[in-house]
Amino acid sequence: MSVTPKFNSAFRLIRSEAVASLNMQVQEYEHIQTGAKHFHLAAEQEEKVFLVAFRTMPQDSTGVAHILEHTALCGSERFPVRDPFFMMTRRSLNTFMNAFTSSDWTAYPFASLNNKDFNNLLDVYLDAAFFSRLDPMDFAQEGHRVEFAEPNNPESDLVYKGVVFNEMKGAMSSPVASLWQTFTKYLFPETTYHHNSGGEHASIPDLTYEQLREFYASHYHPSNAVFMTFGDLDVAALQEKIHQQALSNFERSDIELKVPDEKRYFAPVRVEEAYALDQEDLSKQTHHVLGWLLPRSIDVDALMKAHLLERVLLDNSSSPLLAALESSTLGTGPSPLCGLEDSNREMSFVCGLEGSEPEDAAAVEQLILDTLQKVADEGVDPRSVAAQLHQLELSQREITGDGMPFGLQLILAGMSAAIHRGDPVSVLNIDPALAKLREAVKDADFIPNLIREWLLDNPHRVRVTLRPDNQLTAKKDAAEAARLAAMKAELTAEQKQAIVEQAKALEARQQQVDDDSLLPKVTLQDVPLEMHLPTAEAVAAGSVKGQWFTAGTNGLVYLQAVLDLPQLNEAEQQLMPLFAHCMTELGCAERDYRANQALQSEVSGGLSASFTVRGAKEDEQQVSGYLVLSGKALAVNQQALQALMAETLEKARFDELPRIAEIVAQRSSRLANSITGRGHALAMQSAAAKFSPVANFTQQTSGLVAIQTAKALAQQIKAEGDKAAANTVLEDLSARLVALHNKIKQAPRQFLLVAEADHQQAMLDALQTHWASLPVATTWQALHLPKTREPVKQLWLTSTQVNFCALAFPTVPGGHADAAALTVLGDYLRNGFLHRAIREQGGAYGAGAGQDNGDAVFRFFSYRDPRVEGTLADFYASLTWLQENPVDQQKLEEAILGVVSSIDKPGSPAGDARQTYFANLFGRTPESRKAFRASILAVKGEDLVRVAAEYLKPELASVAVVTNAKTAESLDASYERLEV
């Protein structure tokens, strides 16, 4: 893409550079008056992205940057309302709205397809960033405060409250988060990365309101700001708004905030610390990581060398360092931290093991160093290096955007370079650096020399051992209680009364109704009339049938083989996640798993297997399901990709018992570590599990029951060191996997193909060549799951300092006339009641509600929540509020806008094609999806009241809470208690 930049006179153009591999042009500008930088990624994309970021480099762990990120969005000079950020999420057609606190920057991004909406959000974001009110009450709500446990009783105990306080309490319940913070504390002894930018919950109460204001004044200045935008934007008009509404009010600052080079160690550092794990058995729960500080990330040549080195050592099971870690008996698997961290000013490389013992630290370190020395001495297979260069090229060319807007992903890729005054353009346009690498790797000593220079001979090395401690939570709780007790003992009667009055004032502020007419908005009249969906074309290659989608994939091809799932018993259902994982992680045909993964890297962007099961549009009790084998590759490799995928389906091996044991142990650990990050989703799955066959299947295969199953299987294989017993378990498991493979591989199948039009014929020819001869069963019994429609009342106990609550009701599937009203109801309850009651007043990080049209269930949830009973009461109270108060027409319109925005949110070209294909496969045709969208736009206020009264009846409710044993003791005995 090549365009002549047109820009505002308040800015000067520094340069413009085309990035051919991404079909865009990067333009760099500087605001003349303040020095603020603006990078625009010009692309012919309808989705437009804006981001403003500030260099924020805290010198402690009070969470000042994080709390400021929250508080800055709580009202500004031009928009003096209490909650403009969350109010705008309801008055917008945004495809993304958020704010991020990183280790050395804070960013405020949004994206939208609608020009009016984009400009509305720009107005609010600019004012929030540069002219925030920073009300002390917002600091108390979002950051921290003390209140009496009994609000009007100054003789009761003091407690800490605050959204960020509870968020970080929950975040640091994760062993992996604790490991990362411990590691960076020692790898960076002096710079900002030594501290937890999100905040340590023990340190957060040390932050004062005055310190917050000082940090804002010194850091949120245009001279310290970077603007980044993406899409088909009028740059001159955009810059005019930025100048007039924000930057023209400032003069250039002489303060230059930056991260200095870290002080380098002259000898390795070795440390041991503890993390909280609230269970009796602490064996095989220790983490060991080894990490090195590398050169600066703003050196793009060094950056690409580091990425290549990471891939050569750790990309897959054929990579030497990952192979050593996976096969080691010193732990259950590689550490989740393994890899390159390139977002800080200086990069770091980390590797290690989880599931170990404290006394194995030295042995783990020696294993890593010996492996690196061996690679340095013996060199690397040139095919492996070529495969990893191929992977770098593929990752550069692929247009993503299914989880986060593609433009925002590109912006974040260049963010570190922009923040550290490097060259974001070179980070986005890596083709020149790749060309240099291709020349460099012709020298067989290139990788060995990098290993020697950056790792073996680099004394700035840290070994961290993080061991479990089942007394640590109690110690931390006791320390917090003692601190609060000491604080209370020092309070005068007047100070106690001031705390009571502040709590009342904050509650009154949270209850006040702001004049939201001060905020801009889009209306239903701004909603596009049509829903744009990609168009499929039925294709055939001999007997092989498929659906073809023409999409702009930038030279990549995507293929999915979609096989009907057979009838599965309960044991087979529980085995499905492991089977799907193993299918592409084990050997194939004559190749063992390492050779197979090496081949995958050479010819593809990766192979994976998954499964999907859904209820019928008109009846959630009727189900269908499919196994999906997926692959992608550069178009030049599509023939090899299809050959490999067909061979994988037919000849995947499940006889490599040691490798299966490794996979089981790694999956168990990963699933257990994921609980505190997705506890709200797991709680909702559990609450809904008995309301539909698919919900029950989901609980068995990816919910808390699946985590239990994975842990139990890992324990069986471990078998207390009894190798014979473990081998028996593995042989039985292997036989079950083989039987399941034989049952599935001859299933009726169809294909999804996505690529640019000129690749169609070649893909169809390959489809005929590689798939037509594979056998297909002549008789077939499709998946059938038993009907279920009953509630549960469960407490799931785990190691967490916060709670995740869920309440569910049986409702109707997506094909029912009431599905649209129930879908809108979720947004209406969140916006009108739940956000205020559970987040602002209750202190949870998040809360909401929504209709699941697949399982025919309406679900409430809270996330990182200090309460249980109060939150459950608030779920019910929201329904009473709905019945007792007239439906606010503006709030109804906002809820409808929110639903439509989520429906219309674009993904990647391949992702949109996949979504359309599978929706159609499960009976959600384009016509029915468009009709459902139209029914959303037609929902009336009386519809919300009616469906809530008809379906959300307390006697039908199902409850699930993810919590800890101590909290569970305070809850009534009617809950079923389960450990995970």
| Region 945-949 average pLDDT | 98
d(CA 380, CA 429): 27
| Region 618-635 average pLDDT | 97
Q: Confidence class of residue 529 from pLDDT cuts 50, 70 and 90? A: confident
pLDDT value at position 514?
85
| pLDDT, the chain, mean | 95
Burial environment of residue 4 by CB neighbours within 10 A (0 to 12, 13 to 18, 19 or more): exposed
Alpha helices of 773-814 — where are they, by DSSP H? none
Burial environment of residue 894 by CB neighbours within 10 A (0 to 12, 13 to 18, 19 or more): buried
Given a cut of 80, whether residue 2 has pLDDT beyond it is no
Give tens-digit pLDDT for 880-934: 999 999 999 999 999 999 999 999 999 999 999 999 999 999 999 999 999 999 9
Give tens-digit pLDDT for 785-839: 999 999 999 999 999 999 999 999 999 999 999 999 999 999 999 999 999 999 9
Q: Which pairs from 357-364 meet CB under 8 Å and 24+ separation? A: 357/283, 357/284, 357/286, 358/272, 358/286, 358/465, 358/467, 360/286, 360/288, 360/330, 360/331, 361/270, 361/272, 361/288, 361/463, 361/465, 363/330, 364/288, 364/290, 364/328, 364/330, 364/331
Three-state DSSP string of 72-126: HCCCECCCCCCCHHHHHHHCCCEEEECCEECCCEEEEEEEECCHHHHHHHHHHHH
- Phi, psi torsion values for 608, nearest 5 degrees: -150, 155
Burial environment of residue 471 by CB neighbours within 10 A (0 to 12, 13 to 18, 19 or more): exposed
Tokens of residue 623, six digits: 């189900």
Looking at the chain, the whole-number percentage of residues with pLDDT higher than 70 is 99
**CA 229 to mean position of chain CA atoms:** 22
- Direct distance between the N- and C-terminal alpha carbons of the chain, in angstroms, rounded to an integer: 52
Strand 958-963 relative to strand 793-797: parallel, antiparallel, unpaired?
A: parallel
Give tens-digit pLDDT for 22-64: 889 999 999 999 999 999 999 999 999 999 999 999 999 999 9
Q: Is residue 217 classed as helix, strand or coil in its secondary structure?
A: helix
Given a cut of 90, whether residue 724 has pLDDT beyond it is no
Amino acid at 874: D
Q: List the beta bridge partners of residue 340.
A: 349
pLDDT value at position 721?
65
Residue 431: its H or E element: helix 431-440
d(CA 71, CA 136): 9
- CA 242, 245, 248, 251 torsion-angle sign: negative
d(CA 579, CA 682): 22
Tokens of residue 93, six digits: 């057609």
Q: Which CATH class is domain 793-979?
A: alpha beta
| Region 266-280 average pLDDT | 96
562 neighbors 547 (Cβ within 8 angstroms)? no
> In the sheet where 793-797 sits, what is the strand order?
846-852, 857-863, 804-810, 958-963, 793-797, 976-979
Angle at 258 between CA 252 and CA 259, to 5 degrees: 175
Tokens of residue 395, six digits: 């990752």
Domain ranges of the chain: 269-469, 793-979
972 neighbors 829 (Cβ within 8 angstroms)? no
- Token look-up 């692929």 returns 398
- CA 950, 954, 959, 963 torsion-angle sign: positive
Residues recorded for the chain: 980
Burial environment of residue 329 by CB neighbours within 10 A (0 to 12, 13 to 18, 19 or more): exposed
Burial environment of residue 209 by CB neighbours within 10 A (0 to 12, 13 to 18, 19 or more): middle
Tokens of residue 174, six digits: 């994760």
Q: Confidence class of residue 720 from pLDDT cuts 50, 70 and 90? A: low
Residue partners of 775: CB distance under 8 A and separation at least 6: 746
297 neighbors 340 (Cβ within 8 angstroms)? no
| Region 482-506 average pLDDT | 95
pLDDT value at position 880?
98
pLDDT value at position 347?
98
Cα-based distances in Å from 541 to 549, 560, 632, 762, 917: 15, 15, 19, 11, 19
Looking at the chain, the whole-number percentage of residues with pLDDT higher than 90 is 92
Largest CA distance in the chain: 87
d(CA 912, CA 636): 23
Q: List the beta bridge partners of residue 720.
A: none
The single-letter DSSP state of residue 199 is -
| Region 720-735 average pLDDT | 87
d(CA 12, CA 425): 17
**CA 209 to mean position of chain CA atoms:** 31
Amino acid at 550: T
pTM of the model: 0.94
Strand 623-634 relative to strand 158-161: parallel, antiparallel, unpaired?
A: unpaired
Tokens of residue 829, six digits: 């309850």
d(CA 901, CA 903): 5
Tokens of residue 804, six digits: 């995740």
Tokens of residue 432, six digits: 């020149």
Given a cut of 90, whether residue 512 has pLDDT beyond it is no
| Region 933-949 average pLDDT | 97
Tokens of residue 270, six digits: 């070795």
Cα-based distances in Å from 403 to 303, 350, 818: 25, 26, 29
687 neighbors 806 (Cβ within 8 angstroms)? yes
Tokens of residue 821, six digits: 């009203």
d(CA 157, CA 143): 20
CATH architecture of the domain formed by 269-469: 2-Layer Sandwich (3.30)
Tokens of residue 447, six digits: 């990788």
Give tens-digit pLDDT for 406-441: 999 999 999 999 999 999 999 999 889 999 999 999
Residue partners of 508: CB distance under 8 A and separation at least 6: none
The single-letter DSSP state of residue 379 is -
451 neighbors 380 (Cβ within 8 angstroms)? no
pLDDT value at position 722?
78
- Token look-up 């294993």 returns 367
Give tens-digit pLDDT for 432-470: 999 999 999 999 999 999 999 999 999 999 999 999 999
86 neighbors 835 (Cβ within 8 angstroms)? yes
pLDDT value at position 1?
59
- The answer to whether domain 269-469 and domain 793-979 are alike in fold is yes
**b/e 503-525 (16+ beta carbons within 10 angstroms → b):** beebeebbeeebebeebbbbeee
776 neighbors 943 (Cβ within 8 angstroms)? no
Least confident of 238-242, 336-340, 671-675: 671-675
